[in-house]
Structure 1
Amino acid sequence: MEKQIVHEETLIDRDVEVGSGLGSMINSGKFEMPSMDDIMKLIDSMKDISDEERENLKSSIMFPDAATTDKMRQQFEAANQIGPSSIDYFLFMAMVGLIALVFALFGYKLYKSLMEKEHKKQEKQKNNKKSKKIKQK
């Protein structure tokens, strides 16, 4: 089990495969939500933001407004909707069209072959009638 230091004080256990992602950590039960103190320490350790931005970030985490929580809830619900998207419909219709095209090509070839056989049969009958007339004379 490998330990990795993140922001000087926080240790994260890395016993999950690299690249397996947060989803597998959550599903395996090895993920723990950070405490509010851990989040505040993490914000304090950010060096690239100003003190004002740091305070705004802390206040937005500690006291989120209703519009933000509603927007987050809507995004979460939209991401978790079960059902096909427009690209799924497009792919389905493309596959149905491709199958229909294959059937149409086979049907055309069959029609063409049957018509050719019928035409040859009619020519053969004509030739047989002519040869019978010639034999009768």
Structure 2
Amino acid sequence: MQCNLIFHFIFSPLPANIPDMALFSWIDPHDVLDEGFSDSSGVFRLAGATQEFTAMEPALEIYHDCNDGIKNGFRKLRIGLPDQYITAGLVPQKTVNVGVINLELIYKEETRHYVDDEDTDERTSVSPSFLT
């Protein structure tokens, strides 16, 4: 099973705060499907696949420090992705267009991620409709 997504970020200043992304399986959060950084314009594309026979519930996690001052850790936003974009095989057949995400805003369901706290960071979810 696999999924593919594309989106664009608004954040400032550029390029110092280019966000870090991870696409992972919600059922097994340690099963990272893809990860990387956006380009200097904020455009990003991820694609992930798994060969496991269990269900895949993909989610996107965004780690950034836009408008965060000198606080420890990173702001973290998690977005669940719709099931209709999961297709069989290792090559994505559909693409989720997440749209534009303004990282200057403070989202209600945001949490903080601390590098020293990899296994115990707080996990939350944000439905895609929250961002429309």
Please, what TM-score do these two structures have when normalized by structure 2?
0.19
Higher relative contact order (CA 8 A, sep 6+): 2
Give the strand-richer structure, 1 or 2: 2
Larger Rg: 1
Give the helix-richer structure, 1 or 2: 1
